[in-house]
Amino acid sequence: MHHRTHLALSAWLLSALIALTWTPDVASGHPSPGDLGFVQGTWTGVGYQQDGDSQTWTIALTADVAKKAFAIAYPSLNCGGIWTVEKIEPNRVWFRERITYGKTRCADGGRVVVTGINNTWITFSWFDAKGTLGAWSTLKKESP
């Protein structure tokens, strides 16, 4: 009976730990682990690229998490497309980018990692097919 009590207590403690781990940290404004909600809304910023000579360009991300719709636009490059979720980690989402317009002005098939900073800021890192970092930005939330 003593062994069962320890097992039950261990199971309860493990459940409590998991519940605490997955609870949103609303007071600090940090995104919830394993949750796409922190990406919800419209985000804008300036992208930076280092490939010979430094380049900058504008970024606009519109994320509708409920519909799993993630539209990316690079207005100053006149190109954009959609992102598809590949992997969700605590405060981080990995997307595959597919350029649907302006294909001659933007690289297609990149992998984007979005990391939640707080309710106002996320980071954007773009990797090419070989896994090399090609561009980065910090995006500000413009609307929910």
Q: What is the mean pLDDT of each run of 10 residues along the chain (144 residues)?
A: 38 32 38 73 95 86 95 98 95 97 95 97 95 96 92
Domain that holds residue 109: 39-143
Residue 125 within a domain = yes
Residue 48 within a domain = yes
The total number of structural domains that make up the chain: 1
Burial of 118 (0-12, 13-18, 19+ CB in 10 A): middle
Residue 103 within a domain = yes
Q: Structure tokens of 8?
A: 């039950």
Cα atoms in the 13 Å half-sphere on the side-chain side of 16: 6
For 32, the 3-state DSSP assignment is: coil
Cβ proximity of 122 and 139 under 8 Å: yes
SS3 content of the chain, % helix, strand, coil (to 5): 20, 55, 25
Q: Taking the model in full, what pTM does it have? A: 0.75
Q: How confident is the model at residue 53, as a pLDDT?
A: 67
Q: What is the DSSP letter of 67?
A: G
